[in-house]
Amino acid sequence: MSVILITGAATGIGYLTAKRLAHDGHTVWASMRDPEGRNAAHAAELTEYATNAGLDLRVVALDVTSQESANRAAATVVETSGALDVVVQNAGHLYVGYVEAFTDEDIAHLIDINAIGAHRVNRAVLPYLRRQRSGTLLYVGSTIIVTTPPFLGPYVASKAAFDALAVVTSYEAAQFGIETSIVMPGAITQGTSHFPNASRASDAEVTAAYAHLDPLVERNEEATASLVRPGVNADPQGVADEISRVLALPRGQKPFRTVVDFTEAGVDHVMAFADMTRKAFVNRMGFGETLQLQK
């Protein structure tokens, strides 16, 4: 069994994954911002659940916008559990609105959370994983980098950056025996707080200039939900179950990328071809060893 750190575990996919992996028998550290303040209720619920179920599931503070916070969380896990084997990069936030109306500060802030935040966590955990020459970085990405729907521009950009950082980091991490898997959920509108907690653009004047498009934006969540065929249970638990499946696979046999898409958009086929093309290019450069997991 592994010692696992999960980011963004207060709600949604991270929360469900923490429970699932703890039930699998792992030692799970569910991280979230301010577990003694804004997320106190979520932290208390997870702690109580773990106690009642007899699980080794703990809560640790981790704000992905702070390198100090990430470093402290990683140190806490290692010092308390004596190891760190898996990091599930799940933290993220959603912006909804017109691209022009998002200021440069708006977009920089979202990229800071969704992409640079994962990099901060990697900088905190990789020293431990490199030292032991083993471990897994599992990223919860998104099919949105392929489907690219309207009115979510900054979010699409941030998830594309997140995915690219995961890929290029994998080349170097593999040389230290560290595996990478990217699990790409499709659009999910139930069981998460993504849409209800989404932020809007700061520039109200520009937003007003697009007012005739407001009816389209207002039905964004409904339109997304309509993509799921009747009878299909688009439950984010399916993503947690896929993460569990991937982590249960033997070392060296975990897929680099897997898709859980209840909208059946065909992203799995697109990414399979894209990754094949990327690997061929890297091989042609003479860097094929970066695609291989080293012992």
Active centre residues (catalytic): 155
Unique residue bearing structure tokens 């991270």: 14
The rounded distance, in Å, linking the Cα atoms of 188 and 169 is 27
Rounded to whole angstroms, the Cα distance separating 29 from 75 reads 12
State both tokens at 255.
């897929």
| DSSP calls for 8-73 | S-SSHHHHHHHHHHHHTT-EEEEEES-TTTTTHHHHHHHHHHHHHHT--EEEEE--TT-HHHHHHH
CA-based nearest residue to 202, from 114, 108, 117: 108
Q: What are phi and psi of 138, to 5 degrees?
A: -110, 120
Measure Cα distances from 12 to 54, 155, 229, 278 in Å: 22, 17, 22, 32
The encoded tokens of residue 228 equal 């799921």
Q: Residues 97, 99, 101, 106: is their CA dihedral positive or negative? A: positive
Let me know: does 137 contact 179? Beta carbons within 8 Å.
yes
Cβ atoms of 10 and 193 within 8 Å: the answer is no
In a 13 Å sphere around the CA of 170, the CA atoms on its Cβ side amount to: 25
**Phi and psi (nearest 5°) for 36?**
-100, 0
